[in-house]
Amino acid sequence: MPVIKLLCTTLGKTLGFFTVLVVFIAATLNYFEDSETVKYTSMAEDIKTLEENFRQQNKSCFILGASGETGKVLLQELLERNIFSKITLIGRRQLTFEGKTYENLVQEVVDFEKLDDYAAAFQGHDVGYCCLGTTRAKAGAEGFIRVDHDYVLKSAELAKAGGCTQFHLESSRGANKKSGFLYLKVKGQVEADIEALGFDRFAIYRPGVLLVDRQESRPAEWMARKFFSTVSAVGFRSMAVPIQEVAKAMVSNTVLQPEQKTEILENKDIATLGKSAGK
């Protein structure tokens, strides 16, 4: 009997601890929930109608970072919804595709260290999508800054000079040029620098943890994604978002009419817009 009593007591304490832990995590996530940062005045309109109207304008676009996780899904979404008459992929290498779906794609291979020599690749596009990026672990601090800031900004400058009026940038939740964290500081700085270029429309997407099965994945990253996937499923939409919803949101937002030239879509905004596109 004493043993059973001891087990019951231990079990009770353990359950109590986990209960407190869950409540604490829930309260913390609730605190960090994004406020409603973007008002979609056009959300009530028929997305299909807006897409058809946009399609009739015969616009063209380019994608930077089409070989990355978000870029690949974004390309698929653009091809499926067929709102552009021409899609150009700009990257450091030629990508291989199979099937008639991809036969009309245009690919421009550039050297990001000498982008001025490839200014022609950025000319004649109406809309630009940038999903270009690396990590400090892969490229080191200097390499990360060069890719996520220098390459991205220079590409935006050339696109603007080439006639691009609408630029969509995949950034990160928490981006802030005054941040003490290198990753968030660089993301925030490139946001500010591109905004200063004066595009007719500049859309910034700040997703949280991207829910995707990466080809290159460490055990810790896999566990983190599983955790945030569960958290997102129970209603906390500020922390994570499926990568498909990011791509859908970027495409849907392209045809919507913004209230201002620069707009920032936080994780919750992305999830809302991404889900609406799938209805």
Spatial separation of the C-alpha atoms in residues 83 and 23, rounded to whole Å? 45
The DSSP 8-state label assigned to residue 146 in this structure reads: I
Q: Which residue type sits at 137?
A: A
Helix or strand or coil: residue 216? coil
DSSP letter string, 8-57: HHHHHHHHHHHHHHHHHHHHHHHHTPPP-----TTTTS-HHHHHHHHHTT
Place of tokens 């799938």: 278
Active site residue: 187, 205, 248, 268, which one? Answer: 187
Q: Is 86 a catalytic residue?
A: no
Q: Is 31 a catalytic residue?
A: no
Active site residue: 102, 183, 185, 275, which one? Answer: 183
The number of beta carbons lying within 10 Å of the beta carbon of residue 61 is 21
Name every residue whose Cβ is closer than 8 Å to that of residue 101 and which is 6 or more positions away in sequence: 79
Is there a contact between 100 and 77 (Cβ–Cβ < 8 Å)? no
Phi, psi of 182 (to 5 degrees): -55, -50
Helix or strand or coil: residue 266? strand
In the structure encoding, which two tokens stand for residue 141, read together? Answer: 């601090």
In the structure encoding, which two tokens stand for residue 108, read together? Answer: 């421009």
Active site residues: 183, 187
